[in-house]
């Protein structure tokens, strides 16, 4: 019943009369009339003819496939027509775990591996505001489904098409790719008689897992319907149905149970037998793979000339029909640092996107010590103007070894090609540009805007949190990390940073709740959070246990690092040294980590010269570290332990030339050592009001004799006890308080410092021993000899193999004697 | 099984995505028509996307205190309100490429000549606020019971605003709306 025919408010009868009581009813009906709309079309409307996406101009819609709307589009740069496939907007609502992006990436990854005359070629991948899209070869002809509407195919033609599809499957299976959704609408017959298999959207790598039952019901093998193990024989089954339909015509109930055998006259008995074998419900009864099916089909192939058959079958009228996909020349096949694509290799742009995806995946869930920049660099070798890869590389370099100049260069390059970026990428590029220009507030505002615009994307939240964390704004960073972890519960670094922020701020109840959540998650990834969380909650044994479990479950270097952290924290340095040696050896992908660990373990045990020699060796062995701000910063942190202000200043100057802001973070420590002029010089680059600026101001004022400065320092350090990379303000305060004779305050601060779960930071490798001695002295003066003995005893136990000339060793022995240990 | 039953059983089986899909497949076309009435054909699909996302996010926590259809319309109603409030949307007016295309678009959108019955109806419809439009659509076109409409227009938003939406209140409001429309329609010569 239409609205116009209906009664208004259920009280008045509707009539087609201009006046009288029915007139109002009719009027109300007209006003209220809201006809249903086609949801898919509405969603796809922005990709209407005339719209442009990057350099592609949409010409017309060609059809809606299983996963996307396909348009004919004009590539305005290359002046040619292509097929533009937008990942179906309607799929958005189901995209919980199988997001559009994931679908696209899977399709791109799978198809990028394939190069075969019977498989449609994918040329480019991108993302526009309306979602991801694929650029495919544009083909003219019709799908097999359209062809079958006119009736079955002649036997010869059916065999020819099945053979071509089979050959495509042989190639794909050889690349480890299953189609999983083979059906007549995914087989394309071109006007010139070629056969192309379309839509590897559901393909996945053997053994890589995939959504069970995500094929098309009428064409799914029994094992696929059950969500059981799938292999090449799953596609052989679908090919059998395809062959059956080509010979017998489409089934009436296409979604129903698959046929078991070919019935009726016409087909040779041998062909019927082959179809029956291919349709065997038990995979073991089918041809063992696509190659075996192809071989059997070849034997059945009539001897008539193929070309003639093809032309006869397809017919001239089909030339009028147009549908997705045909070959585009390589767009980015320019020879770069690597040779041009090998014969049969996927196009460079697809390869570039593949490496970009790998880089993004790597960076989103980094394995401790893994260098994700390799993937971004590879993408850029293949496609130097890919802005997302420049962005990925710049972001990676920010925290992992690059100079500011390098990051700026990458971002500048990304800005130059930002017309190729998606809207989100463009905003990210601009946010990072602001960050690198020192416009921190703009950068944070931009990240917040990105997070608000894409609330389901953990990346912006993590990067916002990370930026805030590096500004030492832990309290502000926590919600961002929480959101990142909620969106991606296995995001290793978001977990680590969240645990650290909650732990450092003493928010134990919140941290405990997160640990509980991570404990409930399966697999090794979440054990990272469990280990770090327990460490921050003071349960070092539990931290080690979680890490050991993660290692046993096949956890990566991250799990090993967690274990080394727990062992370091409990003073098992020998075990850590043993595990770290192989990491430092030539050929190891994580030599820096190995050397830093070895240097740290030497320092923890009082062998400072040996530790410095390890850092020198790293610079010798991996020369690029000499220009890495991370290396120079870690080295400066190490040298600080000698208490030699000129040496620290020399390190600071080296760092300053590369990254003035990183060097500025040394200002509080240099002031702590008493070099106030140089500290002040460094501090000029500190952001006003930042933790480090306030720490520096208070330390410097204290060293100048300001009696109130120590209290100011305490207030600052208790609010935010740690700072990223550099010495913890709380340690500086504890040390100065002890030296000022404020023993009770010193004990409170240093006990908290000792509980900070940062065993692998370089400053702690020397500050720990110093804290133990300061604590021992303070306990002694406060009359707590038991605790004094405990602290001094731990110091001596850890320094049994210390450099005999180290002055701290003499001091430690003196304290030990005083408290009656020797 | 009816839509509500299907969605409930999918949810009970842990298939939240399937449940959302079923809900949107069942009610999506009508909801899209409704939001296009509220915000126009150009912006309707955007609002519909917001609605669909809200439904997808909110369905697992939906407490079934009203019908799924009423809840879906409530989400759509709020999505349209959110859309209209969004200052970015207000700024980002569509920019036609030329005066001719603007004129063409406006003619295409109205499909009517000025002063025609349809044009007068359109103008009359534009005098209604979103709540009145919703009331009219749901009662007349969708033939909803008063309780169901109360569930659409009530809910937490209305409670926060200190308003109780009751069937009796809606019935009165609808009568007043009819009177007002009748008066306006008479003034425009739409009815005698």
Residue A97 sits in a domain of what CATH number?
Answer: 3.30.200.20
Q: Does A453 touch chain B (CB under 8 A)?
A: no
Question: Quick check: B55 and A10 CB within 8 A?
Answer: no
Query: Can you give the CATH number for the domain in which A731 is found?
Result: 1.25.40.10
Distance from the Cα of B165 to chain A's closest Cα (Å) equals: 18
Asked if residues A458 and A429 have their Cβ atoms less than 8 Å apart, the reply is: no
The gap between the terminal CA atoms of chain B, to the nearest Å, is 46
Q: Which residue has the tokens 């116009």?
A: A4
User: Any CB–CB contact under 8 A between A11 and chain B?
Assistant: no
Say yes or no: A35 contacts chain B, CB-CB below 8 A.
Answer: yes
**Amino acid A34: pLDDT:** 85
* pLDDT recorded at residue A212: 37
The answer to whether the beta carbons of residues A601 and A577 sit under 8 Å apart is: yes
Of A139, A162, A181, the residue at which a domain comes to its end is: A139
Does residue A405 belong to any structural domain of this protein?
no
Ranges under pLDDT 70 in chain A: 1-21, 40-50, 63-69, 79, 87-113, 125-132, 200-217, 226-227, 252-258, 263-267, 301-351, 353-354, 357, 361, 364-370, 399-401, 422-423, 456-457, 555, 725, 822
Tell me if B56 and A96 make a contact (CB, 8 A cut-off). yes
Cβ–Cβ below 8 Å for B191 and A33? no
Contact B182 A24 (CB under 8 A): yes
Is A17 a member of any domain? yes
The Cα of B28 is separated from the nearest Cα of chain A by a number of Å equal to 7
Chain A nearest CA to B55, separation (Å): 9
SS3 content of chain A, % helix, strand, coil (to 5): 60, 5, 30
As a whole number of angstroms, the distance between CA A451 and CA A533 comes to: 26
Query: What is the 8-class DSSP label of residue A119?
Result: B
The token pair that represents B4 in the structure block: 């509500």
Q: What is the CATH number of the domain that holds A183?
A: 1.10.510.10
Beta strands in A381-525 (DSSP E): none
Report which of A204, A277, A199 is spatially closest to residue A241, judged by C-alpha positions. A277
Residue length, chain B? 192
Q: From CA A46, how far away is CA A48, in angstroms rounded?
A: 5
A210 found inside a domain: yes
Set of chain A residues whose Cβ sits within 8 Å of the Cβ of B75: none
Residue A364 is predicted with a pLDDT of 65
Q: Hey, are the CB atoms on A28 and B140 less than 8 Å from each other?
A: yes
pLDDT digits (tens, 9 = 90+) for A692-704: 999 999 999 999 9
Let me know if residue A612 belongs to a domain. Answer: no
User: Which stretches in chain B have pLDDT values below 50?
Assistant: 88-112
Q: Is A247 among the domain residues? A: yes
Question: Which of B104, B141, B175 best probes binding to A when mutated, by most A CB atoms within 10 angstroms?
Answer: B141
Answer yes or no: do A672 and A782 share one domain: yes
- Please check whether residue A407 lies inside any domain of the structure: no
Tell me whether residues A38 and B121 touch, CB distance under 8 A.
Answer: no
Claim to verify: residue A165 and residue A130 sit in the same structural domain: no
Domain end position, chosen among A113, A139, A165: A139
Q: Are both A157 and A305 inside the same structural domain?
A: yes
Nearest CA in chain B to A6: B140
Beta strands A52-53; A56-64: pairing state: antiparallel
Has residue A200 been placed in a domain? yes
Residue B151's nearest CA partner among B79, B76, B67 is B67
Contact (CB<8Å) B37/A34: yes
Count: domains in chain A: 5
A131 and A169 fall within a common domain: no
Which tokens sit at A343?
A: 């014969």
Domain range for A219 = 144-318
What residues form DSSP beta bridges with A148?
A: none
Residues 6+ apart with CB under 8 A from A418: A387, A425, A426, A429
User: Which H or E element spans position A133?
Assistant: strand A131-136
Looking at the fold, whether A152 and A293 belong to one and the same domain comes out as yes
Instruction: Tell me how far apart the alpha carbons of residues A37 and A53 are, in angstroms, rounded to a whole number.
Output: 25
Q: Is A487 part of the contact surface with chain B (CB cutoff 8 Å)?
A: no
**Residues from chain B contacting residue A211 (CB–CB below 8 Å):** none
A204 and A292 share one domain = yes
Beta bridge partners, A178, equal A204
Clarify whether residues A189 and A312 are in a common domain.
Answer: yes
For residue A705 the two structure tokens come to 């004799």
Q: Which DSSP helix (H) or strand (E) runs through A70?
A: strand A68-75
| Nearest CA distance, A525 vs chain B (angstrom) | 24
- Dist. CA A572–CA A586, nearest whole Å: 25
User: Do residues A743 and A780 share a domain?
Assistant: yes
Is-contact A427 A444, C-beta < 8 A? no
Q: Give the domain-ending residue among A318, A348, A379.
A: A318
Is the domain of A151 the same as that of A133?
Answer: no
Contact criterion met (CB below 8 Å) for B124 and B188: yes
Annotated catalytic sites of A, by residue?
181
DSSP annotation string for A602-659: HHHTT-HHHHHHHHHHHHHHSGGGGG-HHHHHHHHHHHHTTT-HHHHHHHHHHHHHH-
Query: What's chain A's length in residues?
Result: 822
pLDDT tens digits for range A74-122? 887 776 778 887 754 333 323 333 454 565 555 556 666 677 889 887 7
Residue A141's beta-bridge partner residues?
Answer: A190
Contact A26, A14 (CB under 8 A): yes
If DSSP codes are grouped into helix, strand and coil, which group holds residue B12?
helix
A15 is written with which tokens?
């009539």
- CA–CA dist A647, A48 (Å, integer): 66
The answer to whether residue A148 is domain-embedded is yes
Instruction: Tell me the three state secondary structure of residue A159.
Output: helix
A3 lies within 8 A of chain B by CB: yes
pLDDT of residue A268: 74
Pair (A23, A159) in one structural domain: no
- Same domain assignment for residues A237 and A184: yes
Q: CA of A73 to nearest chain B CA: how many angstroms apart?
A: 21
CA angle in degrees (0–180, nearest 5) for A106-A107-A111: 120
User: CB of B126 within 8 Å of any CB in chain A?
Assistant: no
The arrangement of strands across the sheet holding A195-197 comes to A195-197, A187-190, A139-143, A322-323
Structure tokens at A6: 């209906």
pLDDT value of position A796: 94
Looking at the structure, do residues A134 and A194 belong to the same domain, yes or no? no
Pairing outcome for strands A204-205 and A177-178: antiparallel
Tell me whether residues A10 and B33 touch, CB distance under 8 A: no
Residue of B nearest to A31 (CA): B125
Tokens, residue A208? 């890589």
């Amino acid at each position: 019943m239409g609205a116009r025919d209906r009664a208004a408010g259920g009280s008045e009868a509707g009539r087609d009369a201009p006046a009288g009581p029915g007139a109002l009813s009719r009027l109300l009906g007209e006003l209220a009339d809201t006809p249903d709309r086609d949801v898919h079309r509405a969603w796809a409307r922005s990709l209407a003819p005339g719209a442009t996406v990057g350099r592609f101009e949409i010409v017309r819609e060609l059809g809606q496939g299983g996963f996307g709307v396909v348009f004919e589009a004009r590539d305005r740069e290359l002046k040619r027509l292509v097929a533009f496939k937008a990942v179906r907007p309607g799929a958005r609502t189901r995209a919980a775990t199988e997001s559009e992006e994931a679908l696209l990436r899977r399709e791109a990854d799978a198809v990028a591996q394939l190069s075969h005359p019977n498989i449609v070629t994918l040329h480019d991948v991108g993302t526009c505001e309306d979602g991801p899209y694929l650029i495919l070869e544009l083909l003219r002809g019709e799908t097999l489904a359209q062809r079958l509407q006119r009736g079955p195919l002649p036997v010869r033609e059916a065999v020819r098409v099945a053979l071509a599809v089979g050959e495509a499957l042989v190639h794909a299976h050889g690349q480890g790719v299953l189609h999983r959704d083979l059906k007549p609408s995914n087989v394309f017959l071109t006007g010139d008689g070629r056969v192309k298999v379309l839509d590897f959207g559901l393909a996945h790598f053997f053994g890589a897992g995939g959504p069970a039952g995500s094929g098309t019901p009428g064409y799914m093998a029994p094992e696929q319907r059950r969500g059981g193990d799938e292999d090449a024989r799953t596609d052989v089954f679908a090919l059998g149905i395809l062959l059956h339909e080509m010979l017998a015509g489409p089934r009436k109930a296409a979604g129903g149970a698959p046929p078991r055998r070919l019935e009726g006259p016409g087909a040779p008995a041998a062909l019927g037998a082959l179809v029956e074998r291919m349709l065997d419900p038990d995979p073991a009864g089918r041809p063992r793979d696509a190659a075996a099916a192809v071989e059997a089909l070849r034997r059945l192939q009539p001897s008539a000339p193929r070309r003639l058959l093809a032309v006869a079958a397809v017919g001239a009228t089909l030339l009028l029909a147009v549908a997705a996909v045909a070959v585009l020349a390589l767009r980015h096949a320019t020879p770069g640092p690597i040779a041009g694509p090998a014969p049969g290799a996927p196009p460079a742009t697809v390869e570039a996107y593949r490496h970009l995806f790998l880089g993004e995946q790597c960076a989103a869930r980094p394995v401790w010590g893994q260098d994700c920049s390799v993937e971004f660099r590879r993408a850029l070798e293949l496609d130097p103007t890919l802005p997302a890869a420049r962005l990925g590389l710049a972001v990676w370099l920010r925290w992992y070894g690059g100079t500011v100049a390098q990051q700026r260069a990458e971002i500048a390059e990304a800005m130059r090609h930002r017309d190729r970026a998606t809207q989100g990428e463009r905003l990210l590029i601009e946010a990072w540009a602001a960050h690198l220009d020192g416009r921190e507030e703009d950068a944070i505002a931009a990240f917040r805007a990105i997070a608000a615009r894409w609330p389901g994307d953990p990346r912006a939240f993590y990067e916002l949190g990370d930026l805030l964390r590096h500004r030492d704004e832990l309290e502000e960073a926590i919600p961002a990390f929480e959101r990142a972890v909620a969106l991606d519960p296995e995001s290793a670094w978001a977990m680590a940073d969240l645990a650290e922020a909650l732990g450092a701020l003493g928010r134990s109840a919140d941290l405990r709740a997160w640990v509980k959540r991570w404990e409930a998650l399966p697999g090794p990834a979440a054990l990272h959070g469990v280990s770090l969380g327990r460490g921050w909650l003071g349960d070092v044994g539990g931290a080690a246990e979680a890490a050991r479990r993660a290692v046993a479950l096949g956890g990566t270097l991250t799990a090993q690092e967690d274990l080394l952290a727990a062992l370091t924290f409990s003073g098992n340095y020998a075990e850590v040294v043993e595990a770290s040696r192989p990491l430092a050896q030539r050929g190891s992908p994580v030599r820096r980590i190995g050397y830093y660990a070895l240097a740290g373990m030497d320092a923890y045990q009082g062998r400072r010269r040996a530790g410095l020699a390890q850092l020198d060796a790293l610079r010798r062995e991996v020369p690029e570290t000499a220009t890495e701000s991370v290396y120079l910063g870690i080295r400066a942190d190490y040298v600080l332990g000698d208490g030699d202000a000129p040496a620290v200043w020399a390190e600071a100057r080296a760092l300053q030339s590369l990254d003035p802001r990183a060097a500025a973070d040394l200002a509080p420590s240099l002031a702590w050592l008493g070099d106030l002029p140089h500290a002040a010089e460094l501090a000029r680059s500190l952001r006003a009001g930042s933790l480090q600026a306030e720490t520096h101001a208070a330390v410097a004022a204290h060293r100048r004799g300001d009696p109130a400065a120590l209290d100011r320092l305490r207030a600052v350090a208790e609010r935010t006890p740690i700072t990223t990379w550099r010495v913890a303000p709380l340690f500086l305060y504890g040390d100065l308080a002890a030296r000022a004779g404020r023993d009770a305050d010193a004990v409170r601060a240093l006990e908290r410092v000792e509980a900070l779960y940062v065993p692998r930071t370089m400053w702690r490798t020397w500050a720990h021993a110093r804290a133990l001695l300061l604590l021992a002295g303070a306990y002694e003066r406060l009359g707590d000899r038991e605790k004094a003995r405990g602290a001094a005893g731990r110091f001596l136990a850890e320094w049994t193999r210390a450099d005999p000339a180290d002055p701290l060793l003499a001091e430690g022995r003196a304290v030990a004697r005083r408290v009656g240990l020797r | 099984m009816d839509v509500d039953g299907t969605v409930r059983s999918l949810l009970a089986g842990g298939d939240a995505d399937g449940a959302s899909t079923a809900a949107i497949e069942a009610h999506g076309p009508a909801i899209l028509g409704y939001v296009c009435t509220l915000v126009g054909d150009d912006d309707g699909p955007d609002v519909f996307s917001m609605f669909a996302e809200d439904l997808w996010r909110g369905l697992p926590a939906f407490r079934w205190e009203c019908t799924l259809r009423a809840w879906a319309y409530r989400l759509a109603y709020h999505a349209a309100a959110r859309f209209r409030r969004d200052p970015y949307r207000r700024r980002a007016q569509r920019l036609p490429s030329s005066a001719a295309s603007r004129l063409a678009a406006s003619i295409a959108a109205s499909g009517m000549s000025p002063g025609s019955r349809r044009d007068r109806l359109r103008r009359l419809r534009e005098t209604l606020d979103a709540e009145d439009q919703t009331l009219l659509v749901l009662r007349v076109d969708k033939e909803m019971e008063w309780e169901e409409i109360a569930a659409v227009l009530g809910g937490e938003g209305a409670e926060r605003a200190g308003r109780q939406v009751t069937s009796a209140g809606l019935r009165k409001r609808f009568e007043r709306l009819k009177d007002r429309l009748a008066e306006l329609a008479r003034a425009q010569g739409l009815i005698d």
